[in-house]
Structures are given as structure tokens and as C-alpha cells.
Amino acid sequence: MPIPGVKNLIAIGSGKGGVGKTTVSVNLAITLARFGYKVGLLDADVYGPNVPLMMGVNQTPGARGERIVPLTGYGVTLMSMGFLNPGDGALVWRGPRLHGVMQQFLFGVEWGELDYLLIDMPPGTGDVQLSLIQTAAITGAVVVTTPSDVSLEDARKAVDMFSQVRVPILGVIENMSFMQCPHCHERLDPFGHGGGHRTADAMGLHFMGELPLDAHVRVGGDTGKPVSVKGSAEFDTLARDLIACTDVERSKRKTTISVED
């Protein structure tokens, strides 16, 4: 089911947690907004919602009738379980209740007119993920991984999950791909390098690019001031690629429909 007013619904998933999925989501959303698009970001990681911390937004959303009025940060319309359950309390909920929350986050929030609604998916391939991708008409998915084999193993499972429910994969991003020693400026790769690209190639998927393990990016997220607010060449490039991939996907669909007609 499409969300009224939302042109492109992009799921950002990973299989494995801790690979930088939220960092990528937050910075892509801010970059798209900087480019002039109307952008929303739905933090669907109900058990570990890190978007409020990373965006530096910590308020309670208001309501208009039965609908939730989302918050805004750096020009991005925001909704997160972290707004409804702030603090350190764990949300110990089972599947059916989560399904209801996902429905409400997708269809009960006043998203307004959006060019892009990015969904920061929870890691894994469980209940919440299924509810989300089966309920909403997702334009395409981006899979984030690190170069480590362990992360790639789970990324392939995420690709398989999206394929099982016929969500097209727009591309794969390799995060923590390399880093530069701040002392001797040599290039380091503590998590390995290139596995994301190789895996994308092997699976016939588009490789969207590499992102460095950059302390500035991490500090930006930890302090609620993402690097892309002031502009980041890496995220600019990624965002442009996302725009193009989304457009191609929509164009493919139109072609398929006219052929079927």
C-alpha cells in the first residue's frame, strides 16, 4: 500500500546491526534535504532507536486528532520509537504489538508531501522487517555492510529477505571500508576492504560506494550533529547515486506496466 503523498519509499537495511545503517540513513536524509528534496526519515529500529541521538532531536511528537505530527531535524521530517520511549528503558514487546506500531508509523503519521521517505530498518530478518516491507509499497532497498565476512554473510541474508518479498535492491554500500591513521596518515582497513563490492558483483547488484570509518562521522552521530549538515563529499556522491537508482527503478516499473498493458 502506498503512503499518501510519499513519492519514494526507500528501506535501508543491513542484516547485521552495528554496520552503520543509521549513520548512512541519517546522513543520506540530511543530504537529500540539502539538495532541496522533501525528505522524511522513519526510524523503524524499535528496540535500538538511535535516530533521536544522532539527529539531536529529543521531544515528544504532538498529535492532530488521531494522527501523530512528526518532528523535524536539519530539514528532515522525523519519526522514531525513541521519541515515544525515551531514556534507557527497554521496549520488551512481542511481534503483534510491533506490527501495530509499524502500521501507525507508516500510515498514522502526518508525513505530508515527501519526495523521499527513508526507513532505517531494524537489523535482521524478523517480525518487524516483514511487517514493514509487506505493508508498505517500498520503492527499493539499500543494503549496508562492512567489509568483514561476518557482516557480508548477514548482508546476503538481507538481500535474500528483500528478494523473497519482491522488494528491488537499489544497491549495496560498504561502510567502515577503510580509515586513515590520524597520526601517520596511512590507510588502514581494520574490517578488511572490498568485500561489499565483491559481494554486490557476485549477486548481480549495483555497488553504490565505499564510506570510510571516520571518527568525525562517528562523533557527528554521537553528538547529534551529523557530518552531512555542513556537506560531505562522500554522502553527496551517495545521495546522487540513490536519486539516480530510485529514478531508474521507477522508470523500469513504468516500462513493465506499459508492457503488461
Site residues, a second copy (CB under 8 A):
15-19, 22, 47-48, 50, 53-54, 88-96, 98, 122-130, 146, 148-151, 153-154, 156-161, 164-165, 179, 181-184, 186, 188-192, 213-215, 218-219, 221-223
Residues counted in the chain: 261
59/164 with CB nearer a second copy: 164
Nearest approach in angstroms of CB 240 to a second copy is 26
CA distance linking residue 144 with residue 155, whole number of Å: 7
Residue number with CB closer to a second copy (49 or 241): 49
Residue 186 Cβ vs a second copy, minimum distance, rounded to whole Å: 4
Cα separation of 127 and 207, whole Å?
28
Nearer to a second copy, 114 or 170 (CB): 170
Shortest spacing between CB 114 and a second copy, in angstroms:
25
Measured from the CB atom, the residue of 69 and 203 that comes closer to a second copy is 203
Q: Find the shortest distance in angstroms from Cβ 225 to a second copy.
A: 12
Classify residue 12 as exposed, middle or buried by CB count within 10 Å of its CB (0-12, 13-18, 19+): buried
How far, in Å, CA of 245 to CA of 155, rounded?
19
